[in-house]
Structure 1
């Protein structure tokens, strides 16, 4: 019977270990000091793939994993398999629940259920995505076993598989640069990062599901192309729509007293404040609070049009030129919104530049619920890519999501 080696040398059970991810993840876990038991349907196949390691079938898991620190559930019927819905249900839902029950009986401290970012898209009704979501729902109904779900984008390691396997023929340094360039288009995660997150989970023991990815903070290709797109957009607005900027400025001045441009301190990257430029949509004397806290009758008639059409954001092209904001990113908040700032800092949202439009905004999420907004912002940061930014920009252009909204309460000023 296996016994845990304690916090220094954790005992980890990996199901579905002979899959693409398992073959790369097991050595990474062992290199960090974990003792690994591999589990699957066929012990012979396990022994060939992992000679010298302890192996067990799913049926023996409840006894072999006695006292283990963690069960990592990788066994899956993937989205590249042509099979009926019942086959996906059998592996992705029923097997997952059997592993969870065996883990409970074995006294395992916690379980990590691996899924894909495809499953996060509620509009994805494919057999894989739908059954992975169902498994998460059923696992959440088991209070007797702490379970965290890791959502992974494309996984890259020393040896690439699937559609990227052709890159294995390239020299290592060339392959690395190609992967970085491709990662700018779609999010990826390295196997070593997945292993680090597993060990972090052993220490922190959070029960909240999360996306595990590399992000784009250190991706030079992403940064250069994103900055080029931002500058191109800002210059295009100034060159092609200078007349609109002037016309709107005149209309704002004619409708109410005060300047056409509203300057307000906002929180940007790394928590540093900057002056954000927008068309003024409220009467002078309106309290300097978040839009969702401002009274509705403080908004001018043209201000309502500017907000609903999002044209009030146009002067932020000057913030883009100053490299303070991006076209797409988490919406910048006020320095007084301390709860939102703290939630964003905790989730790594302040690592990226804020944006004129954002992932949360096109999904109709505003700043009235700081914790909810910070989770949406974190999702964007972890899934950030050039293709996602383009989809958000196009969704904004089509009018998806709501503009900044004021409350319906009467003004007290």
Structure 2
């Protein structure tokens, strides 16, 4: 594989280039100071930006790392000059050189619509314009805190600690916020079987982080205990009111698709009339919802019986909302993106952003984003957003 890399002198570039070289890639390193690049990477081909069309002809991929980072003390104009205009110029040069694929590397800061900083705004604008470019395959890859043999940025203090202390400290910090080892980026770039989408978030995930798993389970069990002790009387009252208002059981039991695609029984207070068709909420008429059901769904009190599912470790407080087995399109979209590896939750990132099951592909993309960004701080943000009333849940058909 023949790969052009811009911004190779930055932290990510210095970690990434040796991995690509070790994997057998032929490299061309591009920057404003080719001599400095040559000193850092002796033996590798280098050139300036104006030579990409000539020296990059026939290469397979251009990885764009050159950027003004979010911690740079620069005016907004500089961010847009480098992160937008220069990026588009480099992409245009890659297209003219016949390079087939262009990968723009960004930070997950740009995924937060509430982040109005010049870095996030410029990177969002660059990704939007890049997606509209024709004549070359383009893709934006979003990374959380990147590390390799060393740590950088807010994690750089770990380099000064002894290894026996630095590693457990890093696992704790990685439980709080997502991280990614640079080798994952290298593998993503050179692995031909990787599914390519316009937006991809790479991270280590939390599957192997014992610290995260233990703390998350403790939070779940704490929630179960709090609901049982503080709201047990309210749950009993809701059950009585549901039974009084309409015929049928107070608790609604329904089969849902859980972790690894396994089907489990999910429990909720019944909000719809008995005999309503088993389908996604967006496919059910609003007339099927009872009067008290509207209140329960609006306040999310209908979800409280799922503390039993949390106690059984079938669900968590935060995670992708479990769907019905008959929602095959959503199940398949989640399977393709690895979402089914996650434990489903009572609330989730998609839900607090008003994304329901009516658009399976979009929902699966947001669920995959949550899986990549999963961390204790993100979980806390989702819990607080849910408590403040964000997200209206699945809407009915009418």
TM-score (norm 1): 0.94
Partner residue, 2:21 = 30
Unmatched 5+ stretches in structure 1: 1-9, 409-413
Q: 2:84 aligns with which of 79, 83, 93?
A: 93
Provide closer, same or farther for how the CA distance between residues 63 and 207 of structure 1 changes in structure 2, counting only shifts above 3 A: farther
Aligned to 2:338: 348
Pair 1:280 & 2:236 matched: no
* Aligned residues: CA RMSD: 1.2
1-structure distance, mates of 2:152, 2:369: 26
Corresponding residue for residue 74 of structure 2: 83
Specify the alignment match of 2:104 in structure 1: 113
The CA distance in 2 between the partners of 1:203 and 1:294, in whole Å, is 39
Task: Give yes or no for the alignment of 1:142 onto 2:166.
Answer: no
Aligned residue for 1:217?
207
Shift of 1:173: 4.4
Cα shift readout 1:338-367 (whole Å, capped 9, x = no counterpart): 110000000111011000011111111111
Residue aligning to 2:314 = 324
Q: Distance in 1 between matches of 2:80 and 2:266?
A: 50
Instruction: Confirm whether residue 167 of structure 1 aligns to residue 142 of structure 2.
Output: no
Aligned equivalent of 1:258, options 248, 253, 256? 248
User: SS of the counterpart of 1:214?
Assistant: coil
1:67 aligns with 2:58: yes
Moved over 6 A (4+): none
Contact kept, 8 Å, 1:309 with 1:403, in 2: the verdict is no
**CA distance in structure 2 between the aligned counterparts of 1:47 and 1:251, rounded to whole angstroms:** 75
Give deviations 1:26-47, integer Å, cap 9, x for gaps: 0011111112111100111111
CA distance in 2, matches of 1:205, 1:353: 23
CA distance in 2, matches of 1:55, 1:27: 14
Q: 1:378 aligned to 352, 365, 368, which one?
A: 368
- In the alignment, the residues of structure 2 paired with residue 245 and residue 172 of structure 1 have an alpha-carbon distance, to the nearest angstrom, of 50
- SS of the residue corresponding to residue 184 of structure 2 reads helix
Distance 2:197 2:307 in 1: 41
Count matched residues: 398
In the alignment, is the contact (CA less than 8 A) between 2:131 and 2:139 conserved in 1?
no
Contact 1:308 1:404 in 2 (8 A): no
CA distance in 2, matches of 1:267, 1:51: 53
Task: Return 5+ residue gaps in structure 2 as ranges.
Answer: none
Q: Report how far residue 172 of structure 1 moved.
A: 2.9
8 Å contact kept, 2:141–2:201:
yes
